[in-house]
Structure formats: structure tokens, C-alpha cells
Amino acid sequence: MAYGKYAPADMITPVLLTLILVAALGLFGFTLYRRFLLLKAAGADARFDRPGERIRGVLLYAFGQKKFLTGEQPAGLMHFLIFWGFMVISARTLTLFAQGYDPHFYLAGLHPAGLGGPYLLLKDLVEVGVILAVLIALYRWLLSRPARLFGFKPAENRLAGQSHWEALVILLFILGLMVTDFLYDGGRFVLESDPLTLLEKRWSIVSSGVGLLLSGMGPAAVGVVRDAAWWIHILIILTFLNLLPRSKHFHIITAIPNVFFRKLEPAGALSFMDLEKTETYGTSRMSQFTWKQILDMYSCTECGRCASVCPATASGKPLAPRQLLLDLRDHLYSRERELLQKPDSQGGEGNDAVIVGDNLIHDDVLWSCTTCRACEEACPVLIEYVDKIVDMRRHLVQEEARFPSALNRAFKGMETQSNPWAIGQENRDSWAEGLEVPRLSDHPDAEYLYYVGCAGSFDDRSKKTTLAMVKILKKAGINFAVLGKEELCNGETARRIGNEYLFQTMAQALIEVLNNYRFKKILTNCPHCFNTLKNEYPQFGGNYEVIHAAEFVHGLIRQGKIALPGELPGKVTYHDSCYYGRYNQIYDAPREVIREIRGAQLQEMKHCRHDAMCCGAGGGWMWMEEPKDKRVNYIRVEQALETGPDVVAVSCPYCMIMMEDGLKAKGMDEQVKTLDVIELVERAMK
Ligand code: SF4
Ligand code: SF4
């Protein structure tokens, strides 16, 4: 290596650089190719539609870093700075490689006499910012050690026990890159005095300062520092490049494609299974995941945001979404060769072994999920969990008949009485006895079908909400009718539990009933019914305009069709249901309804709207028994009580049951009432 004017581009440098580049890029390309083959061997998934919308998502979530900026701080802001820092610095990285061949190479548009000058100033400032961000990250990894990074016990024991050397190595690499860049430029500014270098020096305020510090050394020593810095910088980048596909930092390459190929169908629509064509039911082997599900595994940053919001993790159950994904990913990598040898294996010869059950993903892990979607909402790279979990449940239920015994009654009820309460279908409209509630069969011209749902029909507490809704509709003069005994369960519970066959049978039966009539819109007071009728029935040819009661009633208030003269003084906190909120982005309507009520003061919980915690009833948990010390609703009720409420308002019959139960367990059910927003309106009408 020469220490003169044109180092590092002496005679040896280009040759050595070429050899190293060929070896490093060759190895990197080979690893990427193997990863690509795994994607190719996975199941099909149509994710190439609506490119405009996909690109918009990339701009928002990848380049705009939306989830980071709206999530936990200061970690989110730190990632934003590191991401954009790297975007700025990547131009510099390419320049440094090229300067191994031509010391005065500048990327097009970045000549120091032009935009390259301000770019160098920006680059220097960004590098200082990245150094600060890395120091904060090192503090978190070495000293503060938050559970989000180190694992939530007991579901993430494996993470908690890891040394996390990888994260530390990568942070040190990043630090090394910044420091060597300053040293390389600083050395150049001491030794080189041609006009272009002088121009660069003028703009590079931090590197010039480093140069000043170095100038006290002799020229030979400065030359060693400059050239060593350049080589170390180059070697770190190439080592980093080859570590990427073998580490969590693979997301640097896969996160943008993962965002591009995100699910564009409604979040609440689980994947369609063609029962007539499929030979296997659900997912039990690696090869049965779709290529997008494998891409999810590649893209996890291991940040732990998903686990930090998961109600199963928080209540001490064996599920932590991050751990689930990492277990799948580790299995995928460790069996890469076998999986590629026999990518379409169904035969269980060891190459594509069953992963659901005792081998890898335990049944308990899968049954712990409430399908609340908090993990997906929190994930900065838009990884999808609920479909994967339900796909594996489909295998357990349909191929193995393995599910918690408590679900037997719900299945039987849905199969024989079309409701998971297992109450005789002949009682479906007994809530309306003695009331004049129009039936669609008698009023085929009704504009609105009020679909009451199983909870509103069979559960005593929910029936009160049904009656309140009917009073409101009558008062507002709405042309509505109910199906009465003709109403059937829509099958939502069966689908979330994984019994796709039962769900499809129920969906077809209900669609047949609905299609006999010509109502214009469906009203429902249950977010689960709302989501399935609106988002899932189109998969089976059932296309309906579905409106949730709270939204509809809000419209009635705004239009002056109902007046609310009654006063209900007190603090009201609103608990968002997952299927109304996160799945369908309906956050404002119920709050607006509460604000319309005289005397009611809305108090938000710390975790509300998209960040709201699940009540614990979704995904089949309404029908399963949670151990007393691991109840999600107890945690949620504690969060509600922090606001000092007189009323916990809900807009879901499941949430109603769970919140009431939680208040009872805390001995607070006398002081704090649980009311549906529809009931609040009905009371305020008096
Ligand atoms: S959907 Fe909810 S319960 Fe299931 S893994 Fe995600 S956060 Fe946990
Ligand atoms: S799945 Fe998403 S939120 Fe969870 S650890 Fe991975 S990147 Fe973070």
C-alpha cells in the first residue's frame, strides 16, 4: 500500500479489492440464491395485484417508517435515524469501493464542485447521528436490557437466555463503519492537497476536525491510519453483507419486499381454503407455508414489538409471537438443505417433518392466540401472524381432531343448533317475545336487516343490548326487520378456531337465507358478525353492505332522528373491540356517540384505539376456560380502572361479558357498570 497522494488506489489495491469483492459477493449471492429457492419451494400466494397501492405502502411504511414513528419512543426515532442515515451513507459506501480503483471517483451528481459538497456535509452530520444512535442502542443491549429485546418470560425463555452477540457485533460494525469513514477522510485531508480534496475538506466539517487531530502525527503514520481505515471499512461492509442473510439483519434486504407484498385484502378476511381441491387441511409442514409466510420469517427484525403487545404473552401463556416466528425461521434455516432436496415433500421422510405439535410449535402455543391482531398492528415490517396461526389450527382441528376439550360444546352447538351457546335454535328469537319486532318474512321490503347474532339472541346480558337497539330503531322510524327463527350463526367462531369445513357449511347456509331477501343493508351490533359478514362472506359470493350499530346510531343522532335529552353524568372509558377497531379501523364512531351524551366524560385508557388490549374472548377463547391467574380480561379491566370510570363502555357482546366478569372478579361491579354504547344511547333517549 502506498502512502502517497493516490492511496489506496495503488497497484496492489485494485487487484486485492477485486479478489475480495468476487469472493464476498459470490458467497453472498450463493446464500441469497438458497434463500430464494426456499421461497420458490413454498406454497403459492397471489401478491402481485394492485402495484400502485403496494408502492404507496412501501413509501409509507418502509421509507416513511410510519410504524416506527408512531410506536414506542425513543426506539422508533432511533430506527428512523439509522434507516435514513444508512440511505444517505449508502452513496458514500459505493464511492469508497470505487475509490479503490479511482481515488477521485464521484457518483453522478455528487461531484464536490456541485451537489457533492452539501452531500458531504450532510453525510458527516448523519454519521455523528448514527454514532449517537448506536451508543444508545449499546446502552439498551448492555445495561438497561428491556424485556422487549431480551424476551418475555416464560414464553420467550430461549430469547432471554441468548447472549445476543449478534446484535452487539452488528452495532460494533456500524460504529466501526462510521469511525473508519471519519479516519479515512481525516487522513486524506492531512496528506492530500489537490483542489478536489480541498473542496471536499471544506464541506466535511467533522472529518476535517478528525484531520486536525491526526495532523499531529507524522505523514507515514497518518498514511497508515488512512489506508487501514479504508480497508477496515471495506472489510466490515463485506462481512456485514455476508452476515445479513444469516441473521435478523436479513430484514435490511427483505423488509421492503415484505411491505410491498403485504396483505391488501381486508385484514379481517382469513385465507380462503378450497375444500374441494385441497388434499391437506391447514399447515403442519414447512413446505405448506406460502412464499409470503416464508418471507415474513426472513423479515423479522426481532424487535419484540409484537410480543410486547400480545395479550397471551402478557397473561403468561406459552405464546409470544416473535418466538413463534423465530422458532419457525430457525427450523427453516437448520433444515434448508433437506427442504431443498425435497421441496414438495408430503411423505414425512424426515425432509419436511411435521412442525406442529411436540416437535416444534406446541398445540398450547397455537391455542393461546385470541386473534386480536395487536402483533400485526405493532410490527414495523408488517409481518402477518393470525393467518399463520389459524392455518396451523386448521391442521390440528381438521386433520388431527386435536383441540381443547372445552371447544366440543361450541362445535356441537354450531353443528346442531347453529350457535356456539348450544341453545336450541327454536329459542333464537325468544328475546323478542311480546314485542312487535318485524320479521323479514313478513316485511320483505324492509331496507335494513338487523342481524342480531348468537350473543344478542341467546346470551341474557347481550339480549338487553338487542332490546335497546330495537327501541332506537323504532324511535328513529327505521324500516327494519329481523330474520327471527330463520337467522343462523355466521360461523365466525368456527373459522377462528380452525374448523374451516364447519365455517364454510354455516356460511353457505346463511348466505342462502340472506339471498332470499332484498334488504339493502345489514345492521349488526357484534364486531365479529360485522367482520365476517362484511369481509369474509364475499369469498363465498355473499356481498352485503354491513354497518355496525354504533356507527349507524351515530348517524341517527347526527341526522336528528333520535334526541338524547337524558343526562348520564360520570366518567366513561371506552374499550375498543379488536374486530371493530384494529380489524376494521372503526375507532371514532363509538366515541362520538359517547360524546353526544350529556354529562358523560370520555376518559381514554393508556392503551386505546389501535393500541387497545384485547378483552381475551376472541379466537375461540369465549368458549375456553382461562386459568384464573392468566386471564386477559383481568389485565384489561385493571387498565380500565386506572381511568377511575363510572362506566366501561363497549360495543361488542364478547367484550361486554369479559369486562363485566373482570369487574366482578375485582369486586368493582357495583361501582363500575359495563354498558354497550347502544345501551347508553337508549338510556339517554329517556
Ligand atoms: S393475534 Fe393477538 S393473541 Fe395472537 S399472537 Fe397476535 S397479539 Fe398475540
Ligand atoms: S414480528 Fe415484527 S414486531 Fe415482532 S419481533 Fe419481528 S419485526 Fe418485531
Span 206-252, pLDDT tens digits: 999 999 999 999 999 999 999 999 999 999 999 999 999 988 889 99
pLDDT 10s digits, 520-572: 999 999 999 999 999 999 999 999 999 999 999 999 999 999 999 999 999 99
Pick from 378, 327, 334: nearest CA to 148: 378
- Taking the C-alpha atoms of residue 141 and residue 150, their distance in angstroms, rounded to an integer, is 8
CA of 372 from ligand 1 middle (Å) equals 5
- Give the per-residue pLDDT at 153: 72
Burial 637-674 (b: 16+ CB within 10 A, else e): bebbbebebbbbbbbbbbbbbbbbbbbeeeebbeebbb
| Nearest ligand atom owner, CA of 297 | 2
Number of H helices, E strands in the chain: 31, 8
Residue 683 Cα to ligand 1 middle (Å): 35
pLDDT of residue 156: 79
Q: Quote the CA–CA distance of 504 and 490 in Å, as a whole number.
A: 9
pLDDT-derived band at 6 (thresholds 50, 70, 90) equals: very low
Question: Could you read off the pLDDT of 51-110 as tens digits, one per residue?
Answer: 999 999 999 999 999 998 888 887 888 888 888 888 888 999 999 999 999 888 888 888
Residues 312-350: tens digit of each pLDDT: 999 999 999 999 999 999 999 999 988 888 545 454 445
What's the pLDDT at 2? Answer: 41
Beta carbons of 593 and 553 less than 8 angstroms apart: yes
- The yes-or-no verdict on residue 20 having pLDDT over 80 is yes
The pTM of the whole model exceeds 0.85: yes
Burial 441-463 (b: 16+ CB within 10 A, else e): eeeeebebbbbbbbbbbbbeebb
3-state secondary structure of 357: coil
The pLDDT of residue 157: 64
User: Alpha carbon 186 to chain centroid distance?
Assistant: 44
CB 287 within 8 A of CB 345: yes
Centroid of ligand 1 to alpha carbon of 306 (angstroms) = 8
Kindly state if the Cβ of 302 falls inside 6 Å of ligand 2: yes
Q: What is the C-alpha separation between 430 and 452, in angstroms, rounded?
A: 12
In sequence order, the 6+-apart residues with CB closer than 8 A to the CB of 52 are none
Atom number of ligand 1 nearest to Cα 370:
3
Task: Name 117's Cβ contacts closer than 8 Å, sequence gap at least 6.
Answer: 199, 200, 202, 203
* Spatial distance between the Cα atoms of 543 and 536, rounded to a whole number of angstroms: 9
**Mutation to probe ligand 2, out of 262, 322, 325, 385 (largest number of atoms < 8 A from CB):** 322
pLDDT for 9 beyond 70: no
CA distance 83 to 70: 15
Phi first, then psi, for residue 83 (nearest 5°) are -60, -55
Residue-level pLDDT at 167 = 84
Our measurement of the distance from residue 4's CA atom to the centroid of its chain's CA atoms, rounded to an integer in Å, reads: 54
| Any atom of ligand 2 within 6 Å of the Cβ of 325 | yes
Q: Which atom of ligand 2 is nearest to the CA of 378?
A: 3
Report, as an integer, the average pLDDT of 419-426.
97
Residue 573 Cα to ligand 1 middle (Å): 23
Give the ligand with the smallest distance to the CA of 75. 2
- Amino acid identity of residue 334, one-letter, is S
Residue-wise pLDDT for 643-684, tens only, equals 999 999 999 999 999 999 999 999 999 999 999 999 999 999
Please work out whether the CB of residue 372 comes within 6 Å of at least one atom of ligand 1: yes
What is the 277 CA–ligand 2 centroid distance (Å)? 34
Residue identifier of the C-alpha nearest atom 3 of ligand 2 = 379
Q: Residues 6 or more apart from 638 whose CB is under 8 A from it?
A: 666
Contact 488/418 with Cβ under 8 angstroms?
yes
- Cell triple for residue 457? 339472541
Averaged pLDDT score across all residues of the chain: 93
Q: Buried (b) or exposed (e) across 104-113, using 16+ Cβ within 10 A?
A: eebeeebebe
CB 547 within 8 A of CB 651: no
Residue 4, pLDDT above cutoff 90: no
State residue 347's pLDDT score: 47
pLDDT tops 60 at residue 3: no
How far apart (Å, rounded) are the C-alpha atoms in residues 293 and 55? Answer: 20
CA of 117 to the centre of ligand 2 (A): 38
Q: Whose CA is nearest to atom 3 of ligand 1?
A: 369
φ, ψ (nearest 5 deg) of residue 348:
65, 40
Give pLDDT, residue 306. Answer: 96
Is the pLDDT confidence value at 115 over 70? yes
**Around Cβ 114, how many Cβ atoms within 10 Å?**
11
d(CA 537, CA 369): 23
Q: Which three cell numbers stand for residue 493?
A: 367462531
Strand 673-676 and strand 647-650: pairing? parallel
C-beta 305 within 6 A of ligand 2 = yes
Span 413-418, mean pLDDT?
Answer: 97
pLDDT for residue 52:
98
Ligand 1, atom 8, lies closest to the CA of 310
Distance separating alpha carbons of residues 597 and 518, to the nearest angstrom:
35
Ligand 1 pocket check for 615: Cβ under 6 Å = no
**Residue 398 DSSP one-character state:** I
Q: What percent of the chain has pLDDT over 70?
A: 96
Kindly state if the Cβ of 322 falls inside 6 Å of ligand 2: yes
Q: Could you report the per-residue pLDDT of 249-277, keeping only the tens digit for each?
A: 899 999 999 999 999 999 999 999 999 98
Pick from 256, 302, 328, 330 the residue to mutate for probing ligand 2's pocket: most ligand atoms within 8 Å of its CB: 302
pLDDT of residue 459 exceeding 70, the answer is yes
Of the candidates 337, 276, 305, the residue with the CA atom closest to the CA atom of residue 149: 305
What number of CA atoms fall less than 13 Å from residue 215's CA on the CB side? 10
Task: Give the number of whichever ligand sits closest to the CA of residue 309.
Answer: 1
Question: Kind and range of the H or E element at 523?
Answer: strand 521-524
- How many angstroms is it from 374 CA to the middle of ligand 1? 6
In ligand 1, the atom with minimum distance to the C-alpha of 310 is 7
User: Ligand 1 pocket, 310 CB below 6 A?
Assistant: yes
Give the pLDDT of residue 423: 97
Residue 307 near ligand 1, beta carbon < 6 Å: no
Tell me how far the alpha carbon of residue 424 is from its chain's centroid. 39
How many Å lie between the centroid of ligand 2 and the Cα of residue 325?
9
Distance separating alpha carbons of residues 202 and 197, to the nearest angstrom: 9
Q: How many CA atoms lie within 13 A of 7 on its CB side?
A: 24
Alpha-carbon gap, residue 191 to 218, rounded angstroms: 10
Using a 6 Å cutoff on CB, does residue 308 contact ligand 1?
no
Across residues 133-155, what is the average pLDDT?
83
The dihedral through the CA atoms of 89, 91, 94, 100 has a sign that is: negative
- Tens of pLDDT, residues 277-303: 888 899 999 999 999 999 999 999 998
* Confidence (pLDDT) at 40: 95
Between CA 647 and CA 681 the distance in angstroms is 13
Taking a C-beta distance cutoff of 8 angstroms, is the pair 614, 374 a contact?
yes
Nearest alpha carbon, ligand 1 atom 2: 372
Dihedral of CA atoms 545, 549, 550, 551 in degrees, nearest 10, equals: 20
Report the chain's C-alpha Rg in angstroms: 30
Each residue's pLDDT tens digit, 593-633: 999 999 999 999 999 999 999 999 999 999 998 888 889 99
Of the candidates 524, 514, 561, 515, the one whose C-alpha atom is nearest the C-alpha of residue 450 is: 524
Of residues 156, 465, 450, the one with CA closest to residue 306: 156
How far does the centroid of ligand 2 lie from the alpha carbon of residue 346, in Å?
A: 30
Q: Cell digits for 91?
A: 452513496
Q: What distance in angstroms lies between residue 195's CA and the mean position of ligand 2's atoms? A: 49
Mean pLDDT along residues 155-179: 80
Cβ(304) to ligand 2 under 6 A? Answer: yes
CA of 141 relative to ligand 2 center, distance in Å? 17
152 lines ligand 1 (CB under 6 A): no
Query: Going by C-beta distance under 8 Å and a sequence separation of 6 or more, which residues neighbour residue 58?
Result: 256, 259, 260
